[in-house]
Structure 1
Amino acid sequence: MEQLKADTGAWIVVCDGAKALIFENKGDRQYPDLRVCEVFEQENPPTSEQGADRPGRSHSSVGPGRSAVGQTDWHDLAEAKFLKDLADHLHLAIHGGKTKQLFVVAPPRALGMIREHYTPAIKQALTKEIDKDYVKMPADQIEKMLVK
Structure 2
Amino acid sequence: MAEIKQGTWVVVTDSEKALFLENQTDGEDPNLDVVRIEEQENPSDREQSANRPGRMQDTGVGQRSALDDTDWHELAKERFAADLSDILYKQAHKGKFSELVLVASPQVLGELRKDMHQEVTNKIVAEVAKTLTNHPIDEIEKLVKAEIA
Shorter-chain TM-score above 0.5: yes
Choose the corresponding residue for 2:95, options 97, 102, 105.
97
Query: Which residue of structure 2 aligns with residue 33 of structure 1?
Result: 31
* Structural RMSD (CA): 2.1
Runs of 4+ with deviation above 3 angstroms: 57-61, 63-68
> What is the one-letter code of the residue matched to 2:142?
K
> What is the one-letter code of the residue matched to 1:80?
E
Determine what percentage of the aligned residue pairs are the same residue.
39
Query: Which residue of structure 2 aligns with residue 134 of structure 1?
Result: 132
Query: Which residue of structure 2 aligns with residue 6 of structure 1?
Result: 4
Q: How far apart, in 1, do the equivalents of 2:135 and 2:28 lie?
A: 24
Q: How far apart, in 1, do the equivalents of 2:53 and 2:67 lie?
A: 6
Offset of residue 64 of structure 1: 8.7
> What is the one-letter code of the residue matched to 2:131?
D
- Give CA-to-partner distance per residue, 1:23-45, whole Å, 9 cap, x none: 10111233322111111111212
Offset of residue 146 of structure 1: 1.8
CA contact (8 A) 2:7 2:97 kept: yes
Q: How far apart, in 2, do the equivalents of 1:49 and 1:5 lie?
A: 43
Secondary structure (helix, strand or coil) at the match of 2:46 reads helix
Q: How far apart, in 1, do the equivalents of 2:142 and 2:30 lie?
A: 10
1:1-148, aligned counterparts within 5 Å?
5-58=3-56, 67-148=65-146
> What is the one-letter code of the residue matched to 1:100?
S
**TM score, norm. by length of structure 1:** 0.87
**TM score, norm. by length of structure 2:** 0.87
Offset of residue 7 of structure 1: 1.8
Offset of residue 137 of structure 1: 0.9
Offset of residue 73 of structure 1: 1.0
Q: How far apart, in 2, do the equivalents of 1:58 and 1:128 lie?
A: 48
> What is the one-letter code of the residue matched to 2:83?
D
Q: How far apart, in 2, do the equivalents of 1:9 and 1:120 lie?
A: 20
Alignment length (residue pairs): 145
> What is the one-letter code of the residue matched to 1:27?
T
CA contact (8 A) 2:92 2:119 kept: yes
- Give CA-to-partner distance per residue, 1:75-129, whole Å, 9 cap, x none: 1111111111011000111010000111100011111111111111111011111
CA contact (8 A) 2:4 2:145 kept: no
Any gaps of 5 or more consecutive residues in structure 2? none
CA contact (8 A) 2:27 2:145 kept: no
